[in-house]
Each structure stands twice: as structure tokens, then as C-alpha cells.
Structure 1
Amino acid sequence: MALTAQLYIHQRLALLEGRLNALRPHIARAHRTLELMRSSEDANERLRSAQVAAARAMADSLEAHERKLLTARRALSAELSDEI
């Protein structure tokens, strides 16, 4: 593999790693929010249910994005490994 191709893959891997690192705190926050909403005894049940559903959807969306980034990272890493 040409040096420029390897450099490109390394740059893409670094970018994906940065995106994953930036995404993970948001996933953790979404899960914490979800748990707080579930445990809140003062909240109106219907409102809480809607908020829990929205928080769950956000967490699911963020996790789906994380999976896509991980898949892209694995593919680039595999391509780099195959060419070395």
C-alpha cells in the first residue's frame, strides 16, 4: 500500500476515534437521563413515559451512530492490516 494511502487510512482512523470519543459522553448522559426519568416519583406518569421514550430513542440513535463509526473503524483497520 502506498504511503499516502496508509496516511489517509491513519487519518481516517484518528478522525473516527475522535468522533467515537466525542459521542460516548452523550450516550452516557442519555442513559443517565433515562435512569433519572425512570426513578423520578414526582413526574406525571404520562409525561414521564413520553420523556423516557424520547430519551430511549436518543440513546438508541446515538448507539446506532456509534456502531456505524465502529464498523467504519474496523473496516479501515482491516484494510490497513491487509496491506501491511
Structure 2
Amino acid sequence: MARKAPHFEESLTELEQLVERMEQGNLSLEESLRLFERGVQLTRSCQNALKEAEQKVRILLEENGEPTYKPFTDDIS
């Protein structure tokens, strides 16, 4: 069963907590690497969510400044 992608705010909060834990400097190498890997995953998730939101805004504002609705595709080229 695939895990549902967390919401942007949840990912950002978890990422902030990971950074705080890592900055304390009292983690083992293995734990630091595990947290770093999770941080990279969360960063990518947040970046993708922001790209999708930006694309949606562009679609809405594309025609003469008037809001228009068009099908959304995740192809950002």
C-alpha cells in the first residue's frame, strides 16, 4: 500500500524539527544520516508542492489577467 504524500505544511514542520535535532549535534552518525535522508525527501516533497502551486497560479492568471480555468498537467517545461 502506497503512503499518501504529506501536506506541504506537515512536511515543512517535520523538516524544521529535523534541522533542529541535527543542529544539536548529539546524534550518532547513523541517526544523522537517517535524518539527513528524510530531510532530503521532505525537501523534494516541498519543492514539488510549490511547483504545482506555482503552475496552478500561472494557469489561473494566464489570459489577460483574468482568471481562467484550464486542465492541470504536471508537465512543467
The alignment status of 1:36 with 2:20, answered yes or no, reads yes
1:26 Cα shift? Answer: 3.1
Structure 1: tracts of 5 or more residues without a match: 1-21
> TM-score, length-normalised on structure 1?
0.54
Structure 2: tracts of 5 or more residues without a match: 1-6, 68-77
Aligned to 1:79: 63
Which of 1 and 2 has higher RCO (CA within 8 Å, sep 6+)?
1
Secondary structure of 2:25 counterpart: coil
Between structure 1 and structure 2, the one with the greater Rg is 1
CA RMSD of superposed structures (Å):
2.7
Are the equivalent residues in 1 in contact too, given 2:15–2:43 (CA < 8 A)? yes
Following superposition, which runs of at least 4 residues in structure 1 exceed 4 angstroms of deviation? Answer: none
Equivalent AA in structure 2 for residue 57 of structure 1: Q
The alignment status of 1:49 with 2:33, answered yes or no, reads yes
- Identity over aligned residues, as a percent? 8
